[in-house]
Amino acid sequence: MSDHYEQLVEIAQALVAPGKGILAIDESSGTIKKRFDSVNVENIEANRLDYRSMMLTAPGLGEHISGAILFDETIRQSLPDGTPLVKLMEQAGILPGIKVDAGAKPLAGFEGEKVTEGLDGLRERLAEYAKLGAKFAKWRAVITIGEDIPSRACIDANAHALARYAALCQEAGIVPIVEPEVLMDGNHDLDTSFDVTEATLKALFAQLYDQNVMLEGTVLKASMVISGSEASDRAGVEDVAEATVDCLLNAVPAATAGVVFLSGGQGDVEATAHLDAMNKMGDMPWPLSFSYGRALQAGCLKTWAADPKGNREKAQKVLLHRARMNGLAALGEWSEEEEDA
């Protein structure tokens, strides 16, 4: 581990640098198809490259975006002039990352629960991704709240896989982002979300410890403690912020390099407001930032899709605005006045 110690710490700290967060553009083929279908864009490689390169070439994106998580196809792509996307990102000061899991599959013997696959052959894939320029990676586990679930077995299976993935990343000199997402689907209340998130995080960090993963070179991608999307009386911004911070303080060791949140179906401004409220609560043991997909992309995608050639700059401005707003929220300096300006 000592071979890569300094390199891992440096990359992890750069990912959560003050006022910066991560752009998640690692949608799988199925997910990007859904996004494109929703705006009537054909899901072909040329369009995927055009859309993602439009975002990555937004002037000044690196001021608020420290890294971007890519899909396997994207990390291998080049612009029509032959410039690899990875090179373009490096010039913009944006670290290239890569999604390496093979997706969440039904967990045998546990109805309604999932376990993420992709450990087989991961060492070799990571070595290749490192050669392609990846500085960090991401693995997402999915925890569902429902009647009598999640089970302890499901939480433990996912925590174990996340820890083994993280250890393999660090061996390859790549910073692991560990993402145990507690889904907000359902009608559960804030307290249930808190209990499940806390149990999941405690299991994860116990496994990271068992697998000799260095926390100073690891970033946690966490879901916020939030009411279920179908809950009748959903908790407000302050309650979500307080519950999330309390939960993290209970379960996340101070040595962890940083915590970046996923938006997980929240609205654009809602995700920004929650992050800002947490950072307004004062100093934390770790930086709290963002790793948003939809909450950074939604408006930008809509604008671009209306006229992919003509609206390129307009779509970039929409993305830059959201990146700046979340950058301010990561410092606890966001406001509705800033949002409207």
Relative to beta strand 114-116, strand 104-106 is antiparallel
| Mean pLDDT within 122-133 | 98
| Mean pLDDT within 185-207 | 97
* pLDDT tens for each residue of 305-333: 999 999 999 999 999 999 999 999 999 99
> Residue 93: pLDDT band by 50, 70, 90 thresholds?
very high
* pLDDT tens for each residue of 141-167: 999 999 999 999 999 999 999 999 999
Select from 330, 338, 339, 251 the least CA-distant residue to 64: 330
Per-residue pLDDT at 271 exceeds 70: yes
What average pLDDT does the structure give for the chain? Answer: 96
Active site residue 63: no
* pLDDT tens for each residue of 217-263: 999 999 999 999 889 889 899 999 999 999 999 999 999 999 999 99
Looking at the chain, list the stretches that DSSP marks H as alpha helix, in order from N- to C-terminal side: 5-15, 29-38, 45-56, 72-75, 85-91, 122-132, 152-171, 190-210, 237-251, 268-279, 294-306, 312-329, 336-340
Q: Which domains does the chain have, with CATH numbers?
A: 5-340 (3.20.20.70)
What pairs with residue 220 in β-bridges?
A: 178, 259
* pLDDT tens for each residue of 282-292: 999 999 999 99
pLDDT at 265: 85
Per-residue pLDDT at 2 exceeds 80: no
* pLDDT tens for each residue of 18-38: 999 999 999 998 999 999 999
Asked whether the beta carbons of 85 and 74 are under 8 A apart, the reply is yes
* pLDDT tens for each residue of 295-307: 999 999 999 999 9
Cα dist from 218 to 27, 103, 116, 273, whole Å:
22, 21, 19, 25
CA terminus-to-terminus distance, the chain: 47
pLDDT at 51: 97
* pLDDT tens for each residue of 29-86: 899 999 999 999 999 999 999 999 999 999 999 999 999 999 999 999 999 999 999 9
Measured CA to CA, the distance from residue 332 to residue 67 in angstroms comes to 20
Measured from the Cβ of residue 310, the count of other Cβ atoms closer than 10 Å reads 10
pLDDT at 166: 98
For the chain, give the number of residues. 341
Measured CA to CA, the distance from residue 325 to residue 235 in angstroms comes to 22
Residue tagged active-site, from 221, 280, 302, 314: 221
Of all residues in the chain, the percent with pLDDT exceeding 70 is 99
What's the pTM? 0.97
Measured CA to CA, the distance from residue 295 to residue 58 in angstroms comes to 17
Q: In sequence order, what are the residues at sequence separation of 6 or more whose Cβ sits closer than 8 angstroms to the Cβ of residue 25?
A: 52, 55, 56, 68, 69, 70, 71, 74, 293, 297
| Mean pLDDT within 201-211 | 98
Residue by residue, DSSP assigns 249-273 as HHHS-TTS-EEEE--TT--HHHHHH
Active site residue 302: no
Q: Show the tokens assigned to 50.
A: 């055009």
Measured CA to CA, the distance from residue 225 to residue 244 in angstroms comes to 5
pLDDT at 3: 77
Residue tagged active-site, from 27, 179, 181, 198: 179
